[in-house]
Amino acid sequence: MVGRKGRRVLFMALPLEGHLNPMLQLAQILHSNGFSITIIHTTFNSPNPSKYPNFTFSCIQDALSPTQFSDLLSFLVELNVKCVEPFKECVGKLLRSDEAAEEPVACLISDAMCHFTQGVADNLKLPRIVLRTSGVSSFVAFAAYPLFRERGYISTQQQVDCNLEEEVEELAPLRVKDLPLIKTEEPEKYYELLGKFLKETKGSLGVIWNSFEGLESGALRKVSKEFSIPMFPIGPLHKYFPSSASCSSLISQDQSCIAWLDTKPPNSVVYVSFGSLAAITETEFLEIAWGLANSKHPFLWVVREGLMKESEWVEALPSGFVESLEGRGLIVKWAPQQEVLAHSAVGAFWTHSGWNSTLESICEGVPMICMPFFTDQKVNARYVSHVWRVGLQLEDRGEIERIIGRLMDGNDEAKEIRDRALKLKEEAKVCLQQGGSSCSSLEALLTYILSFDSFTFQPS
Ligand code: UDX
């Protein structure tokens, strides 16, 4: 542990699994580098403070409720409105507190999607750095949203249209169908949210990325050119600590699947999970179930409560389905994903291509089957299959058995994908070592945060 710096960093997280985890990992990294940490969080999806005895937690009364969560777009819009006042009050109090007198607040680090925090920080003359928890390549695509609007791609996304397959020249190899859009009746609301998210990111003092140079150097160059603020690609954040210490999942993880994996041969199991937000219909659920059963490969499948709108959990499976697998398939509600991906029995990851899942898979050298649902997932899937070439994209659910076979049956294509995945795993490891790109970037970030001294709030 490095000596204490006598400076405190405030964090404001977006209360969603894929955002909260990397933010808490970053807070741990800064704490182990001598900074004191205060996590400001909402009552909705609040983190468990007992897991972080060294941090101070401050809860804001956000008036968000789980029922509002059914629509991601509306949730994000509401959050950026409802949190302004309680956040302003909370930060004001923290800046005037005895704690802040002892250890001056150096800056605020907040999620890029919490764009409202920029206005509050400006008002209080508090330096703000953005944490972008998703990849840089998808950010470049988000930044091109005026283009989608101009060309009417959002409506194309909703009405199945032959242009969906067309490559978007400015964002190659993305096709129209890979653009980071969301199905919505209110495209203007989505564009407005993107506009604010980009403007307030530009207005910040820098961006911390959960990514690394070797993976996204081209996108980092583009974004640095367009946003004239410092960029700190310091990821993969979850690899700074052992997986048990870096995971702060909001859902309790079923550890029993590790013992089950222990009974399986190396590279034999398909791990299946669609993250914390994606939802599927019962028909899709059954197609996936039969695809897995018919593939004849062992599988570990995370069926989150709420994955299907129509049922609570796996009631839709025909009776006798699980028994007929004779131990070849295990279904759990939530898995210790980082440990699962690091397990030698896992040979492929069928994923929704959320950024954390993508990065966690890359870090363990596990080839992916990508089935994106919305926003950045579509970009990530295209990069996995066509840029890094460490996986295949499932474009048609009728192809499930075939695509599992392509990745698991040991043919030349699968071998090449696995070799590239292992090479990328090595790059992800080297970047965190002394002299590696993420390690150097973290050093630059620490120096940068300490340079904010002169900006520190002085209570009047
Ligand atoms: C959301 C968006 O869907 C995604 O597009 C964006 O990149 C981040 O925010 P989410 O759907 O939760 O994320 O997916 P992902 O980013 O992959 O994060 C899921 C996290 O949950 C991962 O860290 C993963 O390790 C963890 N997880 C998942 C578990 O711990 N157990 C599980 O069973 C499944």
Instruction: Report pLDDT digits (tens) over 178-212.
Output: 999 888 888 889 999 999 999 999 999 999 999 99
pLDDT of residue 245: 59
Ligand 1 centre to CA of 123 (Å) is 33
Residue 167 lies in a domain: yes
In this structure, are 15 and 44 located in the same domain?
yes
In this structure, are 161 and 257 located in the same domain?
no
How many residues in the chain? Answer: 460
Q: What is the pLDDT of residues 161-175, one digit of tens each?
A: 558 899 999 999 999
Residue 46 lies in a domain: yes
In this structure, are 69 and 57 located in the same domain?
yes
pLDDT of residue 455: 47
How far from 156 is each of 145, 242, 308, 352, 354, CA to CA, in Å?
14, 44, 26, 22, 23
- Mind spelling out the 3-state secondary structure of the chain? CCCCCCCEEEEECCCCHHHHHHHHHHHHHHHHCCCEEEEEEECCCCCCHHHCCCCEEEEECCCCCHHHHHCHHHHHHHHHHHCHHHHHHHHHHHHHCHHHHHCCEEEEEEECCCCHHHHHHHHHCCCEEEEECCCHHHHHHHHCHHHHHHHCHHHHHHCCCHHHHCECHHHCCCEHHHCCCCCCCCHHHHHHHHHHHHHHHHCCCCEEECCCHHHHHHHHHHHHHHCCCCEEECCCHHHHCCHHHHCCCCCCCCCHHHHHHHCCCCCCEEEEECCCCCCECHHHHHHHHHHHHHHCCCEEEECCCCCECCCCCCCCCCCCHHHHCCCCEEEECCCCHHHHHHCCCEEEEEECCCHHHHHHHHHHCCCEEECCCCCHHHHHHHHHHHCCCCEEECCCHHHHHHHHHHHHCCCHHHHHHHHHHHHHHHHHHHCCCCCCHHHHHHHHHHHHHHHHHHHCCCCC
Angle, nearest 10°, between helix axes 187-202 and 72-82?
50
pLDDT of residue 414: 97
Q: What is the pLDDT of residues 140-154, one digit of tens each?
A: 999 999 988 888 887
In this structure, are 253 and 400 located in the same domain?
yes
Distance from the first to the final alpha carbon of the chain? 35
The share of the chain scoring above pLDDT 70, in percent, equals 94
Ligand 1 centre to CA of 22 (Å) is 10
In this structure, are 45 and 94 located in the same domain?
yes
In this structure, are 271 and 223 located in the same domain?
no
Residue 28 lies in a domain: yes
Choose the weakest-confidence range: 25-29, 59-63, 176-180, 402-406. Answer: 59-63
137 lines ligand 1 (CB under 6 A): no
In this structure, are 338 and 410 located in the same domain?
yes
> What domain range includes position 140?
8-235+432-454
**Looking at ligand 1, which atom is closest to the CA of residue 21?**
23
pLDDT of residue 1: 57
pTM over 0.85: yes
Q: What is the mean pLDDT of residues 254-265?
A: 96
Residue 450 lies in a domain: yes
pLDDT over 60 at 459, yes or no:
no
Residue with the bigger pLDDT between 72 and 445: it is: 445
Do 170 and 144 touch, CB atoms closer than 8 A?
A: yes
| Ramachandran bin of 185, using left for φ above 0, alpha for ψ from -120 to 50, beta for the remaining angles | alpha
Looking at residue 140, which CATH number applies to its domain? 3.40.50.2000
Tokens representing 367 are: 């080839």
In this structure, are 437 and 419 located in the same domain?
no
Do 35 and 11 touch, CB atoms closer than 8 A?
A: no
Tell me the C-alpha distance between 435 and 208, whole Å: 18
Domains in the chain: how many in total? 2
pLDDT over 60 at 158, yes or no:
no
Choose the weakest-confidence range: 65-69, 84-88, 309-313, 393-397. Answer: 65-69
pLDDT over 60 at 71, yes or no:
yes
In this structure, are 228 and 81 located in the same domain?
yes
pLDDT band at 70 (very low <50, low <70, confident <90, very high): confident
pLDDT of residue 251: 83
276 lines ligand 1 (CB under 6 A): yes
pLDDT of residue 3: 80
302 lines ligand 1 (CB under 6 A): yes
pLDDT of residue 101: 87
Tell me the C-alpha distance between 13 and 114, whole Å: 8
pLDDT of residue 177: 93
Residue 16 lies in a domain: yes
**Looking at ligand 1, which atom is closest to the CA of residue 374?**
5
* Mean per-residue pLDDT of the chain: 92
Tokens representing 16 are: 């969603």
In this structure, are 117 and 262 located in the same domain?
no
In this structure, are 414 and 437 located in the same domain?
no
Residue 240 lies in a domain: no
Residue 2 lies in a domain: no
In this structure, are 220 and 253 located in the same domain?
no
Residue 1 lies in a domain: no
For ligand 1, mutation pick of 183, 241, 355 (most atoms within 8 Å of CB): 355
pLDDT of residue 460: 44
pLDDT of residue 68: 60
pLDDT of residue 304: 95
138 lines ligand 1 (CB under 6 A): no
